[in-house]
Amino acid sequence: MAPDATLNRPRARDLGISIGTMTPGPFNAITDVPGVKVGHATIIEGDGPLSVGKGPVRTGVTVILPHDGDIWRQPVFAAPHVLNGNGEMTGLAWVREVGMLGGAIGITNTHSVGVVRDALVAEGVRSQPPGAFSWNLPVVGETWDGLLSDADGFHVRAEHVRDALDDARSGPVAEGNVGGGTGMVCHEFKGGIGTSSRRIDEAAGGWTVGALVQANYGRRGLLRIDGVPVGEAIGLIEVPSPYSMLGRKGAPRDPTNTAIRARDGSIIIVIATDAPLLPMQCARLAQRAGLGLARAGSVAATTSGDIFLCFSNGNLGLPQSETAHEAHGVTAVRMLVDSALDPLFEATGEGTADAIVTALVAAQTMPGRDGIVAHGLPHDRLREVMARFGRLRT
């Protein structure tokens, strides 16, 4: 399915599901933060039994551009938070050290982190004038799509990263089975990419907080949407888990078998804001993404890689930390006082929970390798369940 096709899919609010009380931005997407762009490259090839190196392939790359200037030479303040570390996000040691993010953020599958990182380095080098100094430690996060895809086949290549960068745009964001989220599973439904945003009241600054997730975590019975136990109501007998089909040659197996209970990981969450935050304040926002994840039903299990990154583009024009300084090496920045952060904390948790729901609503049923099928969350049943609990809004 082409990414553009997902733009026509109904979103959670179209179904009458509104998470929280704050107001979304115009697109209810991370791209509501001024200057932020998102692009995808989606790879869907083949069907049938798994043949390593050949397919079937259900994977891709998603990129986030933090502002609309020279992202390779104009860093932004940023900070990560790791809720559970059974996963990878490259470049975090340097982000923690200097509190800055330079370049695009990449999100892909576990075994393609290296090629995406290298391709982003190459794009950073290519963007500079001949002979100019270039140095970059890109941020690339991952979740595992091996349930549906040939994860050991290394199908993501440098050209896919370039395609995702070329696709990066503001406005509506394709969600669900696209980019890095193509082969992902969430709460034993089809998962993938989801995004949301919240606007802070003008009296509190009028800032925007956006969230984008690559959701690939969770057991069915734990799923909560707006407080409703949707995972219990739409159980595994009604909508089978893709894990129930794991076995030799695709033969069904007992989903309660602990040997195949790989349902607990992972999720990458990126938080963006135009509020002028310092790195330690970005770290505090990144931490609050975990509250939104908990609202959706995660327990951050041992096998889950729950890794978050927050950046602020509210201080553009920062000098690169590794280049020679001018004069006395002093630059001016703006910052919010800490007492003004509470609305941003609320927006981060609420927006993260909403982004997970939008990923589930946008994702469609996808057959993968060995006849394994990840079923989409059925919209009609979701509406019935939400109405039963009095949470379907007009």
266 is catalytic: yes
166 is catalytic: no
**Alpha carbon distance 166, 151 (integer Å):** 25
Q: Which residues pair with 105 in a beta bridge?
A: 64, 139
CA dihedral of 252, 232, 361, 392, whole degrees rounded to 10: 160
3-state secondary structure of 244: helix
Query: What residues contact residue 4 under an 8 Å CB cut-off, 6+ apart?
Result: 174
Residues 163, 226, 274, 306: which is the catalytic one? 306
Residues 304, 312, 354, 370: which is the catalytic one? 304
Residues 197, 266, 298, 312: which is the catalytic one? 266
112 is catalytic: no
**Alpha carbon distance 354, 13 (integer Å):** 10
**What does 126-172 look like in DSSP terms, one character per residue?**
HTSPTT-------EEEEE--TTTS-TTS----HHHHHHHHHH-BSSS
Identify the helix (H) or strand (E) that includes residue 208: strand 208-215
Report residue 221: phi and psi, to 5°: -65, -15
Residues labelled as active-site residues: 266, 304, 306
